[in-house]
Structure 1
C-alpha cells in the first residue's frame, strides 16, 4: 500500500530586498507616488483650497493604484494620504470637509508648502515629501536660503547613510580598510547637518526623524533623529538590505516645535488589540483595517467623515489607533520638509521615491557652503556607477562642475 505524503506547508515568501519582486513592488509604488506628487504640485497655486487639493490627490492615488497588479491577490492602497502643509506647519496637514473653518484654508502666494503622499503595494510603502514656494518661479531671499539648505542637508544625510566601505574602490586591502571604518554617530550626523543649516541662517527642526521601513511598517526598530530633544535618541545604523524613509526638516525660526490648536485628522493603526465597547468605534476600526492596514490615513478618507470623528475617539483612547498631533514652528516661521524613500543595496543607495532635484538657476542665495568636510561628503556618490566608461567620465565632470557651483 502506497504511503500518503503529508501535505507540504506553503513555501515562506522572502519579503526582503533579496527577492527581486520586493524591489519591483517598491518601484511600482514609487512611480505612482511620483506621478501623483507632480499632479498635486501643479494644483498648489495661490487661492487653492487645501482640502480640495488633498481630496484630488487621494483620488489620483486610488486611480493609479487600481491600474497595477490587476487580478493579483495582492493588498495595495494608499501608503500615506495626500497632505498639504502651509508655511509654518511642521507635520503633514490634511483638513476635513466637515470642519468648516479649516476647509476654507487656502494657499497663499510666497509661502513654503510641503506636499506628502505615498502608495503601497503588498505592504511596501514609498512615501515622498517635497516643498516649494507657492506662485514663485524664481525664489530669492530667506525662502531661497531655506530651500537650498534643505536640499544640501538632505543630500548630505543620504551620503552619510551609505554603509561604511560599501562603495570603496582600490585593492582588496583598501576595500577592507574602508569597510572597517565606523559609521558616523547620530550626534556627528546632527552636527554636520546643523552646520549646513547655520550656513544658510536656518535651524534643524527638533526631532526630525528618519525611520527604517519594513513590510506594513513605516516606523520599524531603527531610526535616525536629528536635533533630538532631551531624553530622545536614535537607534541603529543603516545597512544593506534595508529600506528607509529619510526626513529632512529645517526652519527659518529656532527649529522648536509647538502643538497647534487643530483637530488631529491623520491617524495610523497600531499593533495594540483592545475590545472596543462602542459600535461606532468598532465600525471605524473595521473600515481602517480593511482600507489602510497599518498605513497612515486621514479621517477624510473614511466612508462617513462625521461618524469617523466620533468613532476614532475610543480607538485613540484605547491605543488601537494612534493620532498624529498637528505641530508647527514655535516662532510661526517658514519650515521646509523633504522625505525620500530609499533602498540600500550592495550597489549603494537607490532613491525610490524622492523629491525633485531643485532647479538651481531659479533659487538665488548669496550664501555658500565652504566647509571642506561637508563639500567632500557632498561629492561622494550614492551608488556604484553601472554605466559605461563614457557615462562615468561625464558624471565625474558634472559632479566637479556642481561642486564648483554650490551656492
Structure 2
C-alpha cells in the first residue's frame, strides 16, 4: 500500500483518531448549544446570543490538541444561527443589528464545530415560553422530530438516499405539514461540509440530486425542515445574508480595493469553512463582499423565509454510519 493510500484510509471512521476527533467536536458543539439556549430569553439581542455560541466553540476548541507536533486546525465549522418563527435558516446578524427575541418565538438554533476538519453540526428548536407547546407549533415540532428519527434509522449501508426522501415526506403528511423545499442533507468529509452525496428532503422542479447508496464509514449531517406553511421559502432581503463560504475552485482578479482587502482576510482566516461577515471589518465588508459574490468567489447562505405566521421547525442530527 502506498503512503497516499494509507493516509486516505486513516481519514475515515476506520481510524480511532478520526472517530475521537468527531466525538470531541460533537461534545463541544452540544455544550455550545446549551450555552446558547441559556441565553435565549425575551428581549435578548439575537446577535449577542449568536456571538456567545461562536465564542464558546472557539474557546473550547482552543483547549484541545494544543500539545501535538502537527498543527491541527479547529474552531467554528458553521456560525451560530438563530432563525425565528417563519425565518427558515441562516439568520446570524451583524453586530449592528438590533433584532430582539420575544416571548412566544419559535427559535431554530443551528451551529457547527470542527476538529482537524472533522465536522459536527447540531440544531435544536426551542419555543420561548413556559409550559407545554400546543396546537400547530406542537404538530410541526413532533413531525420534525419523528422525521429525523426515521431518517436516522434509514441511514444504513446499502440503503438509498431516495428511501430517506420518501419516508420523511410520509411523516410530514401524517402531521398535515410540508417538508420545506431545497433542503439538502450532505455527506461530511474532512474539511468538507457539503459533500457530493446528498439526500433531498423533497423533490422539486429547481433542485435535483443524483441517486446514491449509503456506504460504511460515511458521515452525514441530516437536515430536515418542516413547515405548517406551503414549504416554499423565499429570499426577501439579500442584505440579511451574512454567512458565506470560500469557493476554492474559483478565481477572479477583483477590481475594488475593499474587495481585495476583504478577500485576502477571508483567505487567511476562513479558507475552507463557512464564516459570518460579523468576523470581518464591517464597513469594508459591506462593499467588498458584493463583488466577491458577484464573481462567484464566495458562496452565500441566504436567509430564507416562509409565509408570516407559519410555524416551522428543523432538526439536524450528527450521524455516524458504523
Cα deviation 1:111-152 (Å, max 9, x = unaligned):
210111111111111111111211234211111111111100
The separation in 2 between residues aligned to 1:283 and 1:43, in whole angstroms, is 34
1:161 equivalent to 2:155? Answer yes
**Counterparts of 1:249-328 in structure 2 under 5 Å?**
249-263=225-239, 264-271=241-248, 272-302=250-280, 304-328=281-305
Maintained 8 Å contact 1:245/1:340 = yes
- Who is 1:94 aligned against? 92
Structure 2: which 5+ runs fail to align? none
- Who is 1:351 aligned against? none
CA drift of 1:229 comes to 1.4
Maintained 8 Å contact 1:109/1:136 = no
Root mean square deviation of aligned Cα: 2.0
**Counterparts of 1:193-212 in structure 2 under 5 Å?**
193-212=168-187
Relative distance call for 1:184 and 1:15 in structure 2 (3 A) is: closer
Is the partner of 2:193 in helix, strand or coil? coil
The TM-score with structure 2 as length reference comes to: 0.91
Structure 1: which 5+ runs fail to align? 1-7, 165-182, 346-407
- Who is 1:51 aligned against? 47
- Who is 2:193 aligned against? 218
Relative distance call for 1:70 and 1:208 in structure 2 (3 A) is: same
The TM-score with structure 1 as length reference comes to: 0.73
How many pairs are equivalent? 314
CA drift of 1:184 comes to 4.6
Maintained 8 Å contact 1:74/1:121 = yes
Q: 2:129 aligns with which of 131, 135, 157?
A: 135
Is the partner of 1:339 in helix, strand or coil? strand
Q: 2:218 aligns with which of 224, 242, 264?
A: 242
**Counterparts of 1:7-406 in structure 2 under 5 Å?**
12=7, 14-72=10-68, 73-98=71-96, 103-164=97-158, 183-184=159-160, 186=162, 188-235=163-210, 236-263=212-239, 264-271=241-248, 272-302=250-280, 304-330=281-307, 332-345=309-322
Moved more, 288-297 or 11-20: 11-20
Task: Answer with 1 or 2: which has the greater Rg.
Answer: 1
